[in-house]
Structure 1
Amino acid sequence: MDDAGIRGAVDIAIVGAGAAGLSLAHRLTASPGPAGRPVSLVLVEPPTGSPVRSPARTWCFWGDECDEFESLVTARWDRLRITAGDGRRVCFTSRRAYRMIRSADFLPGVEGVLARRPGVMRVEATVDQVRDAPGGAEITGHDAAGRPVRLHARWAFDSRPPSELPPARTTLLQHFKGWFVTVRADRFEPGVADLMDFRTPQPAQGLSFAYVLPFTPREALVEYTEFSAAPLTGSAYDAALEDYVQRVLRPAGHVVTAVEQGIIPMTDGRFPRSAGESVFRIGVAGGAARPSTGYAFAAIQRQSAAIAASWHEGRTPRPPALHAARHRLMDAVMLRALATGRAGGAAFFEALFRRNPPERVLRFLDGTSTLRDEWAIGLGTPVPAMLRSLLELPLLPRRKATACP
């Protein structure tokens, strides 16, 4: 089918067919719309082979909002572990399993469901602009052959990464590279996920850690992660991973079978959820990522469920605020303390898990903690450093980031 030049209006256009775009399409098409008819929906994604297509990646989460994708889960871990720089460990069992979904499974899995639902159309195009237009929204771009594409919809949802970060008082980056490794002899514990292993060289400001998710006794995802102001070079990530594998894991030989790499902004800037009267931003572009952790998948599910509920009830399908104001304030304080070096990053997270029941910390990381949880967590942090960071926040200007990673 020749998609170039399509002009017919649809109910909803979704730009981007990644986690946010497909999750929203899945929920919108699961039941009839407000008029009792299937929603007419167009999914716009870059042409196959386009450099702006998202690379393969993994998403991990605790949230129960993802249960409908349980069949797509690659692995799950009930036991979790934090390891301090000196080798001391905090081990615990989570009531909600920590689960992983790989994009290589999620994308075709959801696309297969959507292909069987009425009213769903797909268009391959590189989008140049999404804007308000008479009667709704207009999406313009071009296809793989360079031909213009123009689409009209009553509502448009844009999940493309933002071209620039919002003005913020503090901006750090969570940047990482992971190796999927196979070792020659049993070395991993398949039931135990290492969320943070701080036996890595620590940067002067921020923190670094290894993240190990085992699949079998001989297969695992091993990632090197930093929270800092700037990403590393590719060779620096490889050197850090090789050092951790050889010095800490000490396998009898290993093979790297696949690689993943990414950058997640950790900022107290406010990502706008609206880009017009009929244009909304979703996913990380709409503020789904938790500033202090980078977790986004479970929040994306809450976001898409709320949007779909509004649409099915005949209301404006405006994306909701995903993180409570008090959580955003706590994140802003923590980011400031890390960025200034007032709070040692590794020591901060080690103490967080050592001084609190693990389920309390997991609720905080997942954005479902109570005021009582947060009060107890706050008392277990380096109070002078956090208090100073809190008091100076109102005095700090929000500055525009130089570029979006």
Structure 2
Amino acid sequence: MNRPAPAPAPAPDVTSDVVIVGGGAAGLSLALRLTASASPTVTLVEAPDGPLRPPERTWCYWDQDTDDPHAPHGADDFGAAVGASWCHLRVHGSDGRAVTVDPAPLRYRMLRSTDFERLVHARLARSPGVRVLRATADTVRNAADGTAEVRCTTPDGGTRLLRARHVFDSRPRPALPPARTRLAQHFRGWFVRTGAHRFDPGVADLMDFRVPQPPHGLAFGYVLPLAPDRALVEYTEFSRTPLTTEAYEAALAHYTHDVLKLGAFTVESAEQGVIPMTDARFARRVGPAVFRIGTAGGATRPATGYTFAAVQRQSRAIAAALHQGRALVPPPHGRRALAMDAVLLRALDTGRIDGPDFFTGLFRRIPPHRLLRFLDGDTSPWEEWGIGLRTPVGPMLRTALELPFLPRRPHRPPRTGDDHR
């Protein structure tokens, strides 16, 4: 008589100083920052290959030109993964007029998530204190002794229990916190190759408002040239509800054929996404030993959707604090920046300001280096006052006065049938 095989013994617990949950920009950046000398032991939990791993994405940011020997080291520690960069930026108004600016000493940079992951993993492999675990994080909780536990499922169906003094969780929240205004930056992009030279590789089109505008918010084209005959071309909206893939495709077809007049081209690949734009308050500490980082920890700039540079600031600050024996996740954006963003989001959502005119006016009236520092939250109150005077003062002031009296309402899930792929 055959006896059943004994059940496999449970995998032993893994104990680290730090567990990082999620292998996106925030998780990988923090893991890399913690590989410095005298770093803690780190376990990075990454989702295995399959539906839980996000598709390849594009991340952009601006940073000091690395050709400048006096430029500080910032987000461009990842320069080896940068696929393209631009020293000139262009905005097309809805009236067809374009403004081209040179934000020197800043450059606009693009990197692909796969290149970033490859670079970071190569550096992590050289650090003996870092372990990478391919598994699905099922639960993250604070333990009774002041530490934290992460229960994971491995690709073979096994269970691992990770213990750590600190856990930094970068997974998307199941629902956004209550907010007064909740928009989304949603987009679809094509990597196109044209039959003739149609692009200027030295100029990135940040916003092209020569597209139909939605009833709430705004819409624009976005072009990042990679070569004279190759570019990432996106259609983007700041509005309440994402579109269906078919609607994005129709908008992109109109933009590429009727606005850009690209002629014959092929679509080599596509990407699509949704980024929250909200004045919600993102709690960064979940308990004595569990913290949220990245978008889940409020790193996305509410009024622009940019996240990558803020993730780098947040990661450096966390690593510096841990090396000093403290655990904290500082706010990725200052209070003044968040307050101004809240006013802008509300003004856009109510239609009190014209979005295309607002953003085009900023690029036409404000020195580009100062404007990019403003968008990154790196300007002084005096500079911000000067910028504010170049916006529609009446509508913005009215919005600022009403915001304190508006309730923060809980997030409502999308209607059944909405496409949010």
TM-score, length basis structure 2: 0.92
Which residue number in structure 2 is paired with residue 85 of structure 1? 94
1:357: how far off? 1.6
Aligned to 2:260: 249
Instruction: Give matches, 1:250-289, under 5 Å.
Output: 250-289=261-300
Alignment of 1:167-316 (within 5 A): 167-316=178-327
Counterpart Cα distance in 1 of 2:10 and 2:342: 45
Distance in 1 (CA, whole Å) between partners of 2:9 and 2:298 is: 31
Amino acid at match of 1:126: T
Instruction: Supply the distance in 2 between the matched residues of 1:40 and 1:72 (Cα, whole angstroms).
Output: 25
Unaligned runs of 5+ in 1: 34-38
Contact residue 165 and residue 403 of structure 1 kept, 8 A? no
Q: What's the secondary structure of 2:197's corresponding residue?
A: coil
Size of the aligned set, in residue pairs, is 397
Whether contact under 8 Å (1:4, 1:142) holds in the other structure is: no
Superposition deviation, residue 135 in structure 1: 4.1
Aligned counterparts of 1:260 and 1:4: Cα–Cα separation in 2: 40
| Alignment-mate amino acid for residue 94 of structure 1 | P
Which letter does structure 2 place at the counterpart of 1:113?
A: R
State the partner residue of 1:54.
54
Contact 1:163 1:403 in 2 (8 A): no
> In structure 2, what is the Cα distance between the partners aligned to 1:402 and 1:355?
38
Greater Cα offset, 279-288 or 117-126: 117-126
Residue 40 of structure 1 pairs with residue 41 of structure 2: yes
Larger CA deviation: 168-177 vs 251-260 = 251-260
Give the C-alpha shift of residue 145 in structure 1.
3.0
State whether residues 186 and 238 of structure 2, in contact with CA within 8 Å, keep that contact through their aligned partners in structure 1.
Answer: yes
Q: Distance in 1 between matches of 2:173 and 2:249?
A: 28
The farther-off stretch of 202-211 and 4-13 is: 4-13
Are 2:402 and 1:402 equivalent residues in the alignment?
no
Q: Are the equivalent residues in 2 in contact too, given 1:3–1:123 (CA < 8 A)?
A: no
Question: Corresponding residue for 2:131?
Answer: 121
**Is the alpha carbon distance of 1:345 and 1:148 closer, same or farther for their aligned partners in structure 2, counting shifts above 3 Å?**
same
Asked if 1:160 corresponds to 2:166, the answer is no
SS of the aligned residue for 2:257 comes to: helix
Listed as ranges, the gaps of 5+ residues in structure 2 are 1-7, 65-73, 415-419
Q: State the shift of 1:144 in Å.
A: 2.1
What whole-Å deviation, never above 9, does each CA across 1:144-166 have from its counterpart, x for those lacking one? 23322211011100000111101
**Percent identity over the alignment?**
56
Q: Which moved more, 1:138-147 or 1:197-206?
A: 138-147
Where do 1:71-150 residues align within 5 Å?
Answer: 71-95=80-104, 96-133=106-143, 134-150=145-161
Aligned match of 2:344 = 334
Query: Aligned equivalents of 1:71 and 1:373: distance in 2?
Result: 34
- CA RMSD in angstroms comes to 1.5
8 Å CA contact 1:6, 1:151 repeated in 2:
no
Q: TM-score, normalised by structure 1?
A: 0.95
Specify the SS of the correspondent of 1:284: helix
Deviation of the 1:356 alpha carbon = 1.5
